[in-house]
Structures are given as C-alpha cells and as structure tokens.
Structure 1
Amino acid sequence: MRREPSAVPEASRTGKLLAQGRVRMARKVGEEAIEVAIEAMRGNRGALVMEAADLLYNLVVLLADLEIAPDEVLAELRRRELAYGIAEKLPKSDDLINGVAASPAKPVQVRPNPDKRCKR
C-alpha cells in the first residue's frame, strides 16, 4: 500500500478490510498464516504461493493501519541478520533455555527438533 489508509477507496478490497477494524485485520493475518502453514506441510507449491501472497497483503494492510512502513520491518530483519546471523533467533526477555532465563543480548541457535518434523 503506497497510499495512506484514509485515502483508500471504501469500495476496494483494502478499503473494506480497513473498515472492518484492526481486530478483524489481525484475525485475517492469523488465518492466512495458518493457511500458509497447511499448504507448506502439503508441499503444494502453487497454493502456497497464493496463500503467501494473501498473508503478505493482509500483513501490509495491518501494518499500514498501525502506521508501520514495510521498510521498518525489512530494516529490523537486516539489523538482526547483521547482529546475530540469519539462523539465530533472539530470545524474549522471559524465555527460558534449559530452565535458565535467557539474556536478550545473547542469541539462541535455532535447531530443528527431529521429533517434531513434518512428514512428507
């Protein structure tokens, strides 16, 4: 979305979504994320691409409603990659690692759990 949310025509898909309110927009993001996960587990590339487009669209609309530019999110991704590496995840301040509180300054290496892998 390049325009301000208030400048979007009410009859458009985006205008209707904005009119439904932030709770509905957030719910749509959640619904689309679930659909992306389902298609990824199914290995259905075409459906996954379509659902991913829906997810990104709904996320961009929600971010616009909150006056957050997609560039802000991309800048955060770049910052994390430069600071911690792409394969690492920052723990939340209240996360526990092996029963010990994690320091938000120390990245946690993300490793797949072989017991929780999706079956193909």
Structure 2
Amino acid sequence: MTDFTLKTLERIVEKRASSDDEKSYTRKLIGKGVGKCAQKLGEEAVESVIAAMKGDKKELICETADLLYHLLVVLKISDVRLKDVMVELERRTAQTGLEEKASRKAD
C-alpha cells in the first residue's frame, strides 16, 4: 500500500501551478485557462471510459491517474479545495444514494 493520497497530489499541483519552472506541465496547462484544463479533464474521462469498456486494467489504471490529476488541476484553477469536495461526499454518504439523489431534485 502507498501513502500517496489525493491530498498529496493536490499539494503537488498547487506547488507546480505557482512555479516559475518553464518545464512544468501543470504551470503551462493552468496558464492556458480553465477551458483548456476542463477540456483535458474531459479527454481523460473519455479515455478512462474506453479503457474500462475494453476491460484493460493496466490502461484503466493509467487513464484514471491522468483523470485524477486533471481533476485536481481543474479544481485548482477554479479555486475549489479537495477538502470541500470531500465534505460534500461525506454529506452525501450520510444517507443512501437514492435518498441523496432525490434530495437534490427537491432543491
């Protein structure tokens, strides 16, 4: 088991986003704006779906790693903390999925 967490990745994305390193992919991606970051997130989501549909575990692992990275980049550029997402997930899991989904329709 690894000690690497999404929080660890979030810290890395934060550090690299504000880096002056010309070789930083994160810095360059964020420099292109939220639209490009969101586009990359969507591409990785589709690639993850394709890998799952093919039943290719190795590819799914790699594409999911890309997906999680790009998700954290989009959260960073949108000024959303992973902690806030986790609070929302915790709130939602306090009830069944069907109850939670029904409650969103009532809002």
TM class by shorter chain equals 0.7 to 0.9
Verify the 8 A CA contact 2:48 2:64 in the aligned structure 1. Answer: yes
CA distance in 1 between partners of 2:106 and 2:82 (Å): 28
Matches within 5 A, 1:27-106: 27-82=39-94, 84-85=95-96, 87-88=97-98, 90-91=101-102, 102-104=105-107
For structure 1, list consecutive stretches of 5 or more residues without a partner in the other structure. Answer: 94-101, 105-120
Quote the RMSD (CA, aligned, Å): 2.1
Verify the 8 A CA contact 1:5 1:64 in the aligned structure 2. Answer: no
For structure 2, list consecutive stretches of 5 or more residues without a partner in the other structure. Answer: 1-9
Tell whether 2:66 aligns with 1:24: no
One-letter amino acid matched to 2:18: A
CA distance in 2 between partners of 1:79 and 1:63 (Å): 19
Higher helix content, 1 or 2 = 2
Structure (1 or 2) with the larger CA radius of gyration: 1
CA distance in 2 between partners of 1:5 and 1:66 (Å): 16
TM-score by length of 1: 0.68
CA distance in 1 between partners of 2:70 and 2:64 (Å): 10
Partner SS for 1:33: helix
> Per-residue deviation at 1:53?
0.5
Percent identity (aligned): 35
Higher strand content, 1 or 2 = 1
Partner SS for 2:93: helix
TM-score by length of 2: 0.76
One-letter amino acid matched to 1:103: A
CA distance in 1 between partners of 2:64 and 2:102 (Å): 26
Aligned length: 94
